Amino acid sequence: MMARLSIRIDLDPQGRIGPGKIDLLEWIGRTGSISAAGRAMKMSYRRAWELVDSMGQVFGQPVVVSQTGGRHGGGARLTPFGEQLIARYRMIERVAAQAAAPHLDALQDEMRARDAADTAPLGADATP
C-alpha cells in the first residue's frame, strides 16, 4: 500500500490549482500548443482550453500566450508567470513531500499494524 502526497493550492476567492493544471502547463510548454498538450493528456481541446483560461482568470493574468494561424496553424507558449507558477508548484510539492514523508511512512505502518484487529464496540455514550 503506497501513499503519496497530492498538493493543491487554494486561492482566496475561489480558485484551485493542482497537479492536473500544472501537468497541462508543462505539456503546453513542451509541445508549444494547447491542442497537442490536450492530446498528450488524452483530454479534449475544449477542456484543456478551459483549464488554461480558468487559470488566467484566477491569477488575473495569462499563464500562456497564444497565436492563431501561422507556421503550424498557431500555437501557445507559457508566459514568464506561467513558468514561475510551474516552478513554484513543483518546489512546494517537493518540500511538502519531504516534510511529510516520515509521517506518511508512520501512517502506513499503522495501517498494517491494526489490520482489522481492534474495533472495540461502543459502550459509553457520545456527545448527543
What are the Cα distances from residue 82, in Å, to 85, 104, 122, 125? 5, 31, 53, 54
Kindly determine how many residues on this chain lie close enough to bind a second copy according to the rule CB under 8 A. 61
Q: In which residue are the cell numbers 497530492 written?
A: 6
Q: How far apart are CA 86 and CA 103, in angstroms?
A: 26
Question: What are φ and ψ of residue 60, in 5° steps?
Answer: 70, 15
Does the footprint of a second copy cover residue 14 (CB under 8 A)?
no
Number of Cβ atoms within 10 Å of the Cβ of 37: 25
- 28 exposed, middle or buried (CB, 10 Å; 0-12, 13-18, 19+)? buried
Q: Considering the complex, state which of residue 4 and residue 46 has its C-beta at the smaller distance from a second copy.
A: 4
- Pick one of a second copy, DNA, none as the site partner of residue 46 (Cβ within 5 to 8 A by kind): DNA
Binding mask of the shown chain, residues 22 to 51, with x at each position contacting a second copy by CB under 8 A:
--------xxxx------------------
Q: Which residues bind a second copy (CB under 8 A)?
A: 1-12, 16, 30-33, 59-62, 65-67, 71-72, 75-77, 79-81, 84-85, 88, 91-92, 95-96, 98-100, 103-104, 106-107, 110-111, 114-122, 125-128
Q: Which residues bind DNA (CB under 7 A)?
A: 33-36, 43-47, 49-50, 52-53, 66-76
